[in-house]
C-alpha cells in the first residue's frame, strides 16, 4: 500500500475498499468520490497595523443526499484543499453512520489564529461569511467549530449571516455560545461520544475500565476532555499525554485535571510534576489498554503499526491511521474505533443544537448526553456487527453502513 498519498487520496482509498466490499460498481464509487461543490475564496482585509493581508479559504460541500450539509471550519496554517475535501467526506460518512439526517461539508482558512488580535479574528470570521453567504444556510450547509475556531467565532459568523439576510437564523451555525442558542454539553460532546464507544469496546473485551491504562496524543478539546472523562467517570488510569511540544508519562498514572491546568498555565503538558518526558512517537507505542490519537492525521502508519501495543484504539482525531496500518492492526486483533464513528459526538450534539433551535426549547446536559449515549451505542454496535458479518475491520464496517445510507438516498432522489 502506497503511504505517500495525501489525506483526500487516503479517504478515497478507504471509500473504494468499502464500495468493493458492498459490491458497488465503479459508477457508484465515481458518484461518491468527489465533493458536490468545492469553493475557494480569498479574503483581503486591513490588519490592526494598517497593512492589508490576503487569506485563502475553502468550503467543501461533499454530499447533500441525506440532508443539509454539516461540517466545521478549521483555521490553521497548514490548512489545504486535500485536507478540507477529506474532512468533508468523513463528515458525510459520520452523519450517515450515526444516522442523523445531514450531509457532509467542511471549511477552513489558511491562517495562524494565534498571531491575530481579537479584532482581526472577528474581521476574518465576518469576511468568511460574507464570501459564502449564498452557499450556507440552515437548509443548505451549517458550519460549526473545528481546530482553532470556537463559540465566539461562531457567534460573529451567525451575526454576520443574520445581518446579510435581515432576520434571525440561529440554525445557520452550531457550536454557538449558550446565550445565543448553543446546546448544553456541546463543548465536550466529541470526547463524551468517544468515551461511550470505549465503554462498549471494553465490554467486548470483557475488560473492566476501572484501572485501565490510557495514553492520549493531543491535549486540546478532544483529547483533554477524553482524559478527564475517562479518569473521573470511568476510573481509568491516565499514564501518558502529549501535545505539539512532546509527551509526559508515568506508569502509575497522573491526574488528568492537573495536566489540563498545567497546559493552561504553561501551554504544554510537558513538565507536569511526577511525570517523565517522552516523545509523541514513544507515546503511541506504549504498553496500554486504550490509545487515543486526538491530534493529527497519519500518525499510525506502516512504520509504527506493528509496534502498537494498545488493546483499543479510539480515534478522536480525524484520519490518524493510514490504510496500510489498518491492515497491520486488524491482524494484531486490536479493536479500532474508527474516527468518523468515535468522534461523531460533536456533530451529533450540533444536530441536537439545530433541533433545539428550531423548537426554541432547550434540553439539560443530562438529556443531551442520554440521547447522545443512545445514538453512539447504537452506531458502535451496528458497526461491530457489520464488520463481523463481512470479516473485516470496524473502519470498513462503519463505511459500509454509512455509504449504504448515502447511496440509498441518492437512488431515491434519482441521482444514480
Q: Which stretch binds ligand NAD (CB under 6 A): 33-41, 109-117, 221-229, 352-360?
A: 221-229
User: Is residue 200 involved in binding ligand NAD (CB under 6 A)?
Assistant: no
Rounded alpha-carbon distances, angstroms, from residue 20 to 15, 31, 330, 403: 9, 14, 18, 11
Q: Which of 60, 63, 221, 301 binds ligand NAD (CB under 6 A)?
A: 221
- In the bound state with ligand NAD, the residue whose beta carbon lies nearer, of 201 and 314, is 314
217 near ligand NAD, judged by CB under 6 A: yes
Q: Compose the 345-384 pattern: x for residues touching ligand NAD by CB under 6 A, - for all others.
A: -x--------------------------------------
Q: Does 300 help bind ligand NAD (rule: CB under 6 A)? A: no
CB closer to ligand NAD, 170 vs 193 = 193
Using CB under 6 A as the binding criterion, the count of chain residues that bind ligand NAD stands at 23
Distance CA 370, CA 364 (A): 10
Binding characters for ligand NAD, 305-324, by CB under 6 A (x = yes) = -----------xxx------
Task: Give the SS3 label for residue 108.
Answer: strand
Residue with Cβ nearer ligand NAD (24 or 62): 62
Question: Pick the catalytic residue: 106, 123, 263, 311?
Answer: 106
Rg (CA), the chain: 21
Identify the DSSP state of 305: G
Q: Find the Cα–Cα–Cα–Cα dihedral 347, 112, 299, 340, rounded to 10°.
A: 10
Closer Cβ to ligand NAD, 271 or 390, answer by number: 271
d(CA 375, CA 100): 9
106 is catalytic: yes
CA-to-CA dists, residue 134 to 74, 130, 138, 262, 392, angstroms: 20, 9, 11, 43, 42
**C-alpha cell of residue 302:** 506502516
Binding window for ligand NAD (CB under 6 A); candidates: 141-149, 353-361, 369-377, 407-415: 141-149
DSSP 171-222: GG-SS--GGGTPPTT-TTHHHHHHHHHHHHHHHHTT---TT-EEEEE--SHH
Rounded (5°) CA angle 212-97-228? 30
Q: Which residues contact 204 (CB under 8 A, 6 or more apart)?
A: 335, 384
Distance CA 96, CA 405 (A): 6
The distance of closest approach from Cβ of residue 382 to ligand NAD in the complex, given in angstroms and rounded to an integer, is: 20
Write the CB contacts of 185 (distance below 8 Å, at least 6 apart in sequence).
192, 349, 365, 368, 369, 372
Nearer to ligand NAD, 24 or 228 (CB): 228
Interactions with ligand NAD, residue window 256-295 (CB under 6 A): 280, 294-295
Nearer to ligand NAD, 97 or 316 (CB): 316
Contact residue for ligand NAD among 160, 200, 243, 289 (CB under 6 A): 243
Residues in contact with ligand NAD by the rule CB under 6 A: 146-148, 190, 217-223, 242-244, 280, 294-296, 316-318, 343, 346
Enzyme catalytic residues: 106
Amino acid at each position: 500500500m502506497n503511504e505517500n498519498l495525501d489525506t483526500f487520496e487516503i479517504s478515497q482509498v478507504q471509500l473504494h475498499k468499502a464500495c468493493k466490499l458492498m459490491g458497488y460498481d465503479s459508477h457508484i464509487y465515481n458518484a461518491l468520490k468527489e465533493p458536490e461543490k468545492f469553493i475557494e475564496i480569498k479574503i483581503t482585509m486591513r490588519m490592526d497595523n494598517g497593512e492589508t493581508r490576503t487569506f485563502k479559504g475553502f468550503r467543501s460541500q461533499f454530499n447533500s443526499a441525506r440532508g443539509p450539509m454539516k461540517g466545521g471550519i478549521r483555521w490553521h496554517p497548514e490548512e489545504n484543499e486535500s485536507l478540507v475535501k477529506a474532512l468533508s467526506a468523513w463528515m458525510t460518512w459520520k452523519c450517515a453512520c450515526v444516522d442523523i439526517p445531514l450531509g457532509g461539508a467542511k471549511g477552513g482558512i489558511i491562517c495562524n489564529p494565534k498571531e491575530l488580535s481579537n479584532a482581526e479574528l472577528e474581521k476574518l470570521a465576518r469576511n468568511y461569511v460574507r464570501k459564502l453567504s449564498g452557499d450556507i444556510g440552515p437548509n443548505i450547509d451549517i458550519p460549526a467549530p473545528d481546530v482553532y475556531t470556537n463559540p465566539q467565532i461562531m457567534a460573529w459568523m451567525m451575526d454576520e449571516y443574520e445581518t446579510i439576510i435581515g432576520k434571525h437564523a440561529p440554525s445557520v451555525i452550531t457550536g454557538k455560545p449558550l446565550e445565543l442558542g448553543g446546546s448544553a454539553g456541546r463543548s465536550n460532546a466529541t470526547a463524551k461520544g468517544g468515551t461511550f464507544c470505549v465503554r462498549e469496546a471494553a465490554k467486548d473485551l470483557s475488560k473492566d475500565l476501572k484501572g485501565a491504562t490510557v495514553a492520549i496524543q493531543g491535549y486540546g478539546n478532544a483529547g483533554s476532555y477524553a482524559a478527564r472523562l475517562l479518569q473521573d467517570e470511568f476510573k481509568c488510569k491516565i499514564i501518558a499525554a502529549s501535545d505539539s511540544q512532546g509527551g509526559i508519562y508515568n506508569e502509575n498514572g497522573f491526574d488528568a485535571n492537573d495536566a489540563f491546568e498545567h497546559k493552561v498555565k504553561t501551554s504544554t503538558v510537558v513538565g507536569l510534576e511526577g511525570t517523565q518526558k517522552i516523545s509523541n512517537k514513544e507515546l503511541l507505542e506504549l504498553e496500554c489498554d486504550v490509545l487515543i490519537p486526538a491530534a493529527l492525521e497519519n500518525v499510525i502508519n506502516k512504520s509504527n503499526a506493528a509496534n502498537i501495543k494498545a488493546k483499543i484504539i479510539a480515534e478522536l482525531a480525524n484520519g490518524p491511521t493510514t490504510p496500510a496500518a489498518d491492515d497491520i492492526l486488524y491482524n494484531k486483533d486490536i479493536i479500532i474505533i474508527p474516527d468518523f464513528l468515535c468522534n461523531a459526538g460533536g456533530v451529533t450534539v450540533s444536530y441536537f443544537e439545530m433541533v433545539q433551535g428550531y423548537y426554541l426549547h432547550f434540553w439539560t446536559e443530562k438529556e443531551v448526553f442520554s440521547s447522545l449515549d443512545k445514538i453512539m451505542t447504537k452506531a458502535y454496535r451496528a458497526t461491530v456487527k457489520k464488520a463481523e458479518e463481512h470479516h473485516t475491520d470496524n473502519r470498513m464496517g462503519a463505511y459500509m453502513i454509512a455509504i449504504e445510507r448515502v447511496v440509498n438516498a441518492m437512488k431515491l432522489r434519482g441521482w444514480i
